[in-house]
A and B are shown apart, each in its own frame.
Chain A
Amino acid sequence: MAQGWGDGLPLIPPTEQRVQEFLVAGGRFPDELIAVLPPLRAECTVEKIAINAVMAGCTGDAMPLLCAAVEAMADPQFDLAGLNATTGSVVPAVVVNGPIRNRLDIPYQAGCLGGVASPAVAIGRAIRLIMRNVAGQLIGSTSQSVYGTPGRVAGIVFGEWEERSPWAPLAERRGVPGDAVTVYGAMGTANICDVVANSADGFLDMIAKSMAYPGANGFLPSSAFAETLCLISPVWAEVIGKDYPNIEDVQAYIWDKCALPIDWFRPEYRDPIGNLGRIKPDGRVHLVPTPQDVLVMVAGGEGGLHAAMLHSWGTCLTVTRPIAAA
């Protein structure tokens, strides 16, 4: 803490020996450059990742995932420079697909967004320490986040329950089959609960309409475009998948219902939203411009009743990268 390296929790001292052991386990050369991270615009090498990962309590087998996640966040499409500085409460969510989920024990079942004991906590924390110590994201200095979010301490790292999904894995649908990481600028997580619906349309209606609140990123006149992410629990996914075996149809359904009538907004909002070309001929404004901007995946426990929504931030675009074998 005195060095400004910490997050408030105890840290494991990154001794030369521990870092060396981590590097050996990770199978990467320490001076390999992974990315240049804003706002500091400093070089993030494999060694810097290893040092921060040791401090967070990570084990070396997480190195390929950490490197892929950092590389994905540094993609200009992700707008890390804006994301790390914003007044918003955004944190990059890290979604893991492929067999590596099980090798690293990344959670994708009950409690996957937080609370379940898992190495994902240390992995998420490592990424947050990298953002702090290498990228230079510091509250009150380079970050203006008004509220922050609990996810800024240990990250949001979870997997997709691919075995219970009626659809192809998220990363595969984005062109990266197998072990892959997808980073998404998440304005926190929020729950969607339904104790009445018992049909695909019923569940999707509740999900879509819950996501359409006027302060959501996608409705902001300052967002020329946006994405959104929803997690469907395996119980709901099974019902939905029977009626909608094609994920594109699920995306289209949610996109269509996830909208607000323009006259529902106060008058001063209408011109700025209209200037973006966001008002459809039927007088509605959709949360995101196209159905493809609705990201859908299966995760969560079998208790049913719930889905989760993760609204996006700014014009941050989701990035997927393969995870190289160690």
Chain B
Amino acid sequence: MTTILDPSASLAHDIADPGPDAGDLRGKRVAVRIDMLWRSWDWVSEVWADKLRAAGAEVTFWRSCGRTGEEGVIADREYNALLAQSDLAIVGLGNCGSCTSWTIADALTAAATGMPTIGVATAHFEGLANNLAKRGGRSGLRLHILPYPLDILPKAQVHDIAREHYRSFLRNFGVRSELAQQSAA
């Protein structure tokens, strides 16, 4: 009998658990990873940051730029330093192929520290984000999905989307107390 050998490779391990909930926002230090590609993510995250601050969190932004060469070494060092000083991580934006790859890679890095982490992508790249999280060994990675296309919309419309999505974003992130307060209000 002739045996055909398998040319493919697969990961042996997977973490299907989404990790800890973000919980109560009061006093939490939130790292928000933005990038140099998507102005719409700047606009969404600034709306969310205002709301997170209003809920008692401290928000720090970090912008991902070049990730290779000397600039990449510096970027990795900065990002890891930020994570070391943070309690929660919000990582975006997956809105193209490579930026989704880096978004998920940075989200996996944050999640690997054990901190509550959520990646953010747009609808067209949801499948890619899920695939990359799974192939990165953490299929349970929390994701929040924004509409697509997003970046071609005017700022006011993106701000509206950010406000509309804030509650479901909190739910995906496991912020129960804030949701409860909003429900009571």
Contact = CB atoms under 8 A, between A and B. Distances in A.
Interface core residue of B69, B98, B125, B136 (most chain A CB under 10 Å): B98
Given A77-B69, A222-B36, A317-B68, A16 B97 contact: no
A24 B15 CA distance: 38
B128 A85 contact: yes
A83 B9 contact: no
Interface stretch (A129-137, A230-238, A299-307): A129-137
B3 to A, nearest CB: 5
Nearest to A79: B68
Interface stretch (B52-60, B99-107, B159-167, B174-182): B99-107
B27 interface: no
Interface stretch (A138-146, A202-210, A239-247): A138-146
Interface in A235-288: 272
A51 B7 CA distance: 6
B97 A81 contact: no
A81 B101 contact: yes
Nearest to A222: B37
A40 B104 CA distance: 13
B26 interface: no
Interface residues of A, number: 51
B5 interface: yes
Interface string A297-326: 000000000000000001111000000000
A197 interface: no
B66 interface: yes
A57 B11 CA distance: 27
A224 B36 contact: yes
B82 interface: no
Contacts of B136: 39, 41
Nearest to B37: A222
Interface string B70-97: 0110000000000000000000000011
Contact of B5 (A4, A51, A134, A145): A51
A43 interface: yes
Nearest to A78: B68
A82 to B, nearest CB: 4
B69 A14 contact: no
Interface string B100-140: 11100100000000000000000001011001100111000
A13 B2 CA distance: 10
A39 B104 CA distance: 10
Given A14-B7, A81-B102, A144-B125, A225 B67 contact: no
Contacts of B183: none
A128 to B, nearest CB: 12
Contacts of A82: 67, 97-99, 101-102
A88 interface: yes
B65 interface: yes
A87 B97 contact: yes
A314 B97 contact: no
Contact of A51 (B6, B68, B102): B6
Residue in A5, A14, A39, A78 with the greatest tally of chain B CB atoms within 10 Å? A39
A93 interface: no
Given A76-B68, A225-B66, A225-B71, A143 B7 contact: no
Contact of B135 (A78, A129, A142): A142
A145 B125 CA distance: 12
A5 B7 CA distance: 7
A41 B101 contact: no
Contacts of A79: 67-68, 98
B4 interface: yes
A39 B132 contact: yes
Interface string B134-162: 01110000000000000000000000000
Interface of A: 3-5, 13-16, 19, 38-44, 47-48, 51-52, 55, 76-79, 81-88, 129, 133-134, 136, 141-145, 221-225, 272, 314-317
Given A41-B137, A314-B98, 10 more contacts: A15-B4, A39-B135, A52-B7, A81-B102, A82-B98, A86-B97, A225-B71, A315-B66, A315-B68, A317-B68
Q: Which 6 A-B residue pairings sit nearest by Cβ, starting from the closest? A: A144-B97, A82-B98, A42-B9, A224-B66, A85-B101, A86-B97
29 contacts: A3-B8, A5-B8, A15-B4, A16-B3, A16-B5, A38-B101, A39-B132, A41-B136, A41-B137, A47-B5, A48-B9, A51-B6, A77-B69, A82-B97, A85-B101, A85-B132, A87-B98, A88-B97, A133-B7, A134-B7, A134-B8, A143-B97, A144-B128, A222-B36, A224-B71, A314-B98, A315-B66, A315-B68, A315-B71
